A and B are shown apart, each in its own frame.
Chain A
Amino acid sequence: MEATFKTQLEKIACKVRIGIIEGVHAAKAGHPGGSLSIAEILTYLYFKEMNIDPKNPKDPKRDRFVLSKGHAAPALYATLAERGYFSPDELLTLRQIGSRLQGHPDMKNIPGVDMSTGSLGQGISTAVGMALSSKHFGDNYNVYTILGDGEIEEGQVWEAAMFASNKKLSNLTAFIDLNNLQIDGTIDEVNSAKPVDKKFEAFGWHVITINGHDYDAIEAALAEAKTVDKPVAIIAETTKGKGVSYMENAVNWHGAAPNDELYAVAMEELNAALAAFN
């Protein structure tokens, strides 16, 4: 990847993280940990990979994205705002009465949101439906989704995985955000779905494991995904809470908002990271 473009993406991901923290802080609620872990993946998808147009968010031939781990809505909203679907100022209305930015994504009201999600395990099935529709009706767009590593404990995920390979949905790519934490603890403590790669392989998927914060790896994996005649699972090893020191690998930041003091710390760190690219 060209260095200046990568720097551009790095800066965008910093802004996405700032948007996540600002939104969650303003809302006094939300899910920062699992939002911060997917900033690079979302940035790459919306600024490089997907065929989309913020000025025409309902284009029937656009690529689709489903945030199966819907609680990471702050990350999706911040990315959409940065991409120009709506003003970043709106991020401060997150979870407030009257806001379009619901606690979990709402496709009816938020420009750029392709599917309403939040109930875990259902998003991947809807992404499978979109991929099937694309192939069946000859529309030839691609479908992307992100699942959590806790989310894949839901049985429906594996029903969807079985169907997708049986129907050879090669236009479907699912990222699994392997950050090792879920609400009640580490995924190993709770009910681990590991080995995740072997499971998806056993369900007939092409599996690629990457560092989910590495743009070169994300780019290479998505390029590889286009060469196979199967649905593709990209196991993205990430750090939950990435970019905010006290949130990194800390289970208590799965679903909690920082107070004013910790908000200031987070903003200082993220602004410093952004400034480092200038």
Chain B
Amino acid sequence: MKRFLPLSILILAVLAIVATLLPPRNPAEYDLVAFSRLPTLVNGRIKPLDTVARTSLLMLQGRQRVTAPNGRTITPTEWLLDVLYRPEVANAYPTFEIDNPDVLALLNLTAEDGFGVGKNRFTFDKVQKGLPELERQSKLADAVESAVRTPFQKAVIQLRESIVLYQSLQVSLLPPNDDHYLEQLATFNATVPAGLAAVAAQHSGKAPDMSAAKVILGLSDTAATLESLGYLRVIPPQNRPTDPMGWGNAGAALRQSLDHGKLDPALAFYAQLGLAWRGYQPATFNTLVHDYRAGLDRSIPSLMSKCDTEARFNSAEPFYTSMMIYVVAFLVAVFSWLKWPDELGRAAFRLVLLAWILATVGIGIRMWLEGRPPVTNLYSSALFVGWVAVALCLVLERLYRNAIGSVTAGLVGFSTLLIAHHLALGGDTLEMMRAVLDSNFWLATHVVTVTVGYAATFLAGFLALLYVIRGVFTKSLDKATADSLARMVYGIVCFATLFSFIGTVLGGIWADQSWGRFWGWDPKENGALIIVLWNALILHARWGGLVKQRGLMNLAIFGNIVTSWSWFGVNMLGVGLHSYGFMDAAFWWLLAFVASQVLLILVGSVPLAKWRSFSSQSPA
């Protein structure tokens, strides 16, 4: 049993990964998977509809799964189809998460109206009645500077943004309250030329066919509405379809179709698809999708393969699987301290390696999709901090083989992926880079190096946490383990000093190259500098003999506070050239983290005689 344990754990984990990589299956006879891979331009990037469905749901309700009122679970793609083509059905899905009690009161909603475990998910039908009042309140809140808004005002604005997103998604293909629109498009090529002739006749003073002309006027109005409000730019341009500037929404395509008297083929496809979806005709639906897709494969093959990869990447959720394996690895590694250290230790190491490889592949795919270095926003920085820290842990574990590296890897890997998961709630994480950041050279050098510095400083802090927790609360921290931990922390602090210093310097050079000054005391610059200074302080205190092993550990734990401040804290100040990602929900988490670290430093400051590991022996 003992001999086969590492191998069987590894095989189980590999099987779990393989299961996520299998092609997603369609729940019913509709080929939703093929539909979900169709391309659209949203927020400056051409992406599969699958990504739009998932990120919209994350923004509306913080998760990708939708449960219909009858209890059936709906995939994001199915939800998107209903939002686009069957508004009356979609409006009855509980997809608005509202937690603020004052906002609920404002909309006359109670928990009885809500769905889900927390009774905090509401349907558009229920929310709709309160929209005028919501609009009024959000106008009041708009006037308040974002930093000083009350929780109620923030919740109002957030809900208003959700509603706007939902409604503009809904008018991507269908105009509101028009039952004949799709039928009109279906007969477009037959009826519209006559209508255009009638309009021309009207202009030249001849007796026009009034009913035919009326159709054209109606369609022009619809085109104007859809063009100004529609969210999805699903229509590829006829010439140069790879240039994102040419992609338009359905309204623009309808306007151009009216000009030419001939329906745009992509618009025709989406109209027929709507009829098939509304009419419950899976066979027609599938044929339409496959034919349209075949055309795209001919005109934009490279974009389509990117969309396919992205949709597969979405459904495989590699970071989620990786996060789960880190948890298992952590538990296995901790158990290895109690029993079967060799076998379980090896199993934990392999699990960490597996999870890390998975994360590597995930980060690699993101880089390929985006055409960017690994760190472009807060979300990807969380992924990358975890990746670097775990890589260092793997090295430590290879050197020391005492499961400390694996335990820390499990802990850091899990925490950073959890942070990343929460940062992803803001929408699509493959964003376009704002002008000043649009430089792959500096993103690849300065940003990556600084992030490696963050990761190493965190790692030193987490290793020190292990030292304190094991030393104070257990008897397991013998002299050899304590010494090896001290060497690890010291080595990682050296590594962190080097990288955070070089990263900060590269930032200065970037600033000098693009702004003409090396150092401007901007909050983010200061945050990076404080990390360098703190690491330098640890090293000097150690060299000067001002701290011994335990002092080193406490200083390293404080490094966690310093790094989290620089990583997230300065963004919350909302000032400076670097403040691109302002977040406030995370503020309380940051505070809680800082408090926990202070608490552990206090625990670490308990006299060594009180430490369970040291009470029976002479202090280390």
The answer on A and B forming one complex is: no
B residues with CB within 8 A of A: none
A residues with CB within 8 A of B: none
